[in-house]
Amino acid sequence: MKLSIPEEEIMGHGHLACQGCGAALAMRYALKAFGRNTVMTFPACCWSVIDGPFPHSAVNVPLFHTCFEAAASTASGIKAGFDAQGKDVNVVAWAGDGGTYDIGIQALSGAAERNDDIIYVCYDNEAYMNTGVQRSGSTPYLSWTTTTPVKHPKQRPKKDIVSIMAAHRIPYLATASVAFPEDMITKFKKAKDIKGTRFLLVFSPCPPGWRANPENTIKLAKLAVLTRVFPLIEVENGRVWKLTKKVRTVKPVSEYLKLQGRFRHLSEDDVAVIQENTNKDWEILMDKVGEKD
Amino acid sequence: MPKKSEVKIIFESIKDMPPLAVSLYTMDYNKTGSWRNVRPIIDYDKCTYCTICWKFCPEPSIDLEKIEVDGKEKFKPIINYKYCKGCGICWTECPVDAIYTEEESE
Ligand SMILES: Cc1ncc(C[n+]2csc(CCOP(=O)(O)OP(=O)(O)O)c2C)c(N)n1
Ligand code: SF4
Ligand code: SF4
Ligand SMILES: [Mg+2]
């Protein structure tokens, strides 16, 4: 029998992620795709902690911890250093959604505009988890967080980071999910072999932050795709949009929402609005993809 | 004797420290199996060696052993209880319910 993803484990065990952490799985798959000829940089995020205390490290590739706003610029600098030495290394910025959608967006936009030869991965758990579940630009509409309590849940939609990055006309960007590791690893391998700025967004459930059961991490990540809440796509040069996972039987968003405590306060009307928004976003995406379904 | 890679590095003085913040060792010393409340156990009579549990373990704490079944090479999943945190993903995702659970007593 052949395994559907590479057998070699680069990420080690003993790391400090919570039980069922999607971000830990995302790293496991990412390293399988990138291989050992990789250097990473983390801004402040859960992964700064998950990796373990100095001088120990769970990723087993060289790693540079950087400040919250500087993942992309740190990666650009590391890449320039390797270029000067004539070394060809995959340089990966690995950041959370807070470090990407919000505080790190200036550095990311700069690197993308220059088309610096780096891979930027955002593991998206839809809030500032490391500091105790504060709202981020990625937190979905009407979600609970500690800064958007149930009496005042988030009133703004999740920021469309994919369109923002596509507008930079970078050679490659893709979304991925920990529930579809084969798709994710194919995209990460493809990204590795492209020159220029590559942006990869990985949907990564966070059981404590989403008030969800750790055993449901894969279920939730799968439902996000099957309900069209998180479509799996690729965008080349900002212009060619492709859907990489076609959903034959679309599920209602309620199936995804009801497994998560962060949405427990929603009324039926709220769920209907979320369903409507999801349908509208899908139509807009289909226009870009140039498909009808 | 613990394996060398399972030892936690403690610097006695500043002179032992490397000049730069480099990683010297893995996190293997950190036995996250102690976090576990519920123990997953694979029933190999039911297991079809599909390796889905291995694929989705975030630790990773399921190892694969190459075995032969009816002349065909298969991968047998073996849970590494030193590190398994008991998250429940494996027993939730197993398509044939071959993973059962027991409460940890200690
Ligand atoms: C300039 C600055 N502001 C605030 C912090 C505190 N801080 C550290 S991690 C973090 C949250 C990171 O959230 P995200 O990027 O989504 O990653 P996650 O923790 O969710 O993995 C915050 C606010 C910091 N380290 N630096
Ligand atoms: S808080 Fe969430 S993202 Fe952070 S380590 Fe725990 S499960 Fe993972
Ligand atoms: S319970 Fe979780 S940590 Fe333990 S083997 Fe299963 S998937 Fe891995
Ligand atoms: Mg986050």
* A293 residue type, one letter: D
Please give the CATH number for the structural domain made up of A22-289.
3.40.50.970
- Closest protein CA for atom 8 of ligand 1: A44
Report ipTM (2 d.p.): 0.96
Banded model confidence at residue A292, pLDDT cuts 50, 70, 90: low
What is the tens place of the pLDDT at every residue in A222-276?
999 999 999 999 999 999 999 999 999 999 999 999 999 999 999 999 999 999 9
Could you tell me the distance, in angstroms and rounded to a whole number, from the CA of residue B79 to the centre of ligand 3?
8
SS3 labels along A241-284: EEECCCCCCCCCHHHHHCCCHHHCCCCHHHHHHHHHHHHHHHHH
Shortest distance between the Cα of A58 and any Cα of chain B, in A, equals 5
Indicate whether residue A175 lines ligand 2 (CB < 6 A). Answer: no
Q: Minimum mean pLDDT among A28-32, A119-123, A206-210, B8-12: which range? A: B8-12
Which of A10, A11, A13 to probe the B interface (max B CBs under 10 A)? Answer: A13
User: Structural domains in chain B?
Assistant: 33-106 (3.30.70.20)
Nearest to B87 among A19, A52, A55 (CB): A19
Banded model confidence at residue A281, pLDDT cuts 50, 70, 90: very high
What are A65's two structure tokens? 């911890």
Q: Where are the alpha helices (DSSP H) in A62-104?
A: 71-85
Nearest to A216 among B72, B86, B92 (CB): B92
What are A137's two structure tokens? 């630009």
Shortest distance between the Cα of A215 and any Cα of chain B, in A, equals 4
A13 and B51 in contact by Cβ < 8 A? no
What are A98's two structure tokens? 């807070």
In terms of Cβ atoms closer than 10 Å to its own Cβ (0-12, 13-18, 19+), residue A37 is exposed
Query: Are residues B55 and B94 in contact, defined by beta-carbon separation less than 8 angstroms?
Result: no
- Closest protein CA for atom 4 of ligand 1: A68
B24 and A3 in contact by Cβ < 8 A? no
Per-residue confidence (pLDDT) for residue A276, from 0 to 100: 98
A13 and B60 in contact by Cβ < 8 A? yes
**At A39, is the secondary structure helix, strand, or coil?**
strand
User: Which of A233, A166, A173, A211 is closest to A20 using CA atoms?
Assistant: A211
Q: What is the mean pLDDT of residues B63-69?
A: 95
Contact pairs from chain A to chain B, CB under 8 Å: 113
A7 and B80 in contact by Cβ < 8 A? no
- Percent of chain A at pLDDT exceeding 90: 98
Could you tell me the distance, in angstroms and rounded to a whole number, from the CA of residue B87 to the centre of ligand 3?
5
What are B90's two structure tokens? 């494996």
Per-residue confidence (pLDDT) for residue B19, from 0 to 100: 87
Question: What residues of chain B lie within 8 A of the CB of A15, using their CB?
Answer: 27, 30, 32, 59
User: Which of A58, A165, A151 is closest to A119 using CA atoms?
Assistant: A165
B3 pLDDT more than 70: no
Per-residue confidence (pLDDT) for residue A118, from 0 to 100: 98
Which of B3, B7, B30, B47 to probe the A interface (max A CBs under 10 A)? Answer: B30
B106 pLDDT more than 80: no
Ligand closest in space to the Cα of B63:
3
Q: Where are the domains of chain A?
A: 22-289
